[in-house]
């Protein structure tokens, strides 16, 4: 167990990686058609919002916590809706938002931030959450975990 596990909320982690992506894009700029870039970024951002908001709505309907800092407060295991597609739609949404940001920045180097975010969230957020969910929901979570992918 690491001191960073579930300590920094993933939206804040995404903002920090987004700032790093912006910094990389200023150092290694790439010029691209602005209308195509902006439309593409908007389409990916909309997909990000659909994923993240679907996850939030599902948690609200199940009356369980969406607080990623305290996964032990989960009161139910949500396996339906968007959670039948991904075990972590809110994190998929944040990752897609970073992809949209990378497209908008028009710098391939900024994609490093997307991969950094995914690696960080896998290690310091999802792994401890899954440990907690296994403790809370046992075989029910293990069965769900075997059926549905972590990301997509």
Residue-wise pLDDT for 33-70, tens only, equals 788 899 999 999 999 999 999 999 999 999 999 999 99
Residue 16 included in any domain: no
pTM: 0.95
pLDDT tens digits for 20-29?
999 999 998 7
Range of the domain at 77: 21-27+34-147
Residue 133, CA distances (Å) to 58, 72, 81, 88, 96 in order: 17, 8, 19, 13, 25
Residue 77 included in any domain: yes
Residue 122 included in any domain: yes
pLDDT category at 4 given cuts 50, 70, 90 is confident
Burial class of residue 59 (count of CB atoms within 10 Å of its CB; 0-12, 13-18, 19+): buried
pLDDT tens digits for 73-115?
999 999 999 999 999 999 999 999 999 999 999 988 999 999 9
Quote the tokens at residue 45: 């951002």
Q: How many CB atoms lie within 10 A of CB 147?
A: 10
Tally of domains within the chain: 1
Residue 98 included in any domain: yes
């Amino acid at each position: 167990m690491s001191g960073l596990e579930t300590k920094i909320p993933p939206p804040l982690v995404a903002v920090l990686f987004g700032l790093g992506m912006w910094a990389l894009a200023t150092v290694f700029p790439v010029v691209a058609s602005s209308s195509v870039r902006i439309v593409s970024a908007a389409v990916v951002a909309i997909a990000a919002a659909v994923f993240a908001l679907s996850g939030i709505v599902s948690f609200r309907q199940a009356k369980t916590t969406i607080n990623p800092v305290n996964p032990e407060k989960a009161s139910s295991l949500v396996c339906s809706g968007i959670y039948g597609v991904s075990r972590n739609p809110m994190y998929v949404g944040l990752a897609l938002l970073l992809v949209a940001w990378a497209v908008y920045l028009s710098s391939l180097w900024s994609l490093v931030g997307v991969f950094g975010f995914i690696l960080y969230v896998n290690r310091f957020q999802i792994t401890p959450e899954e440990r907690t969910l296994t403790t809370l929901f046992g075989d029910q979570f293990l069965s769900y975990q075997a059926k549905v992918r972590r990301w997509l």
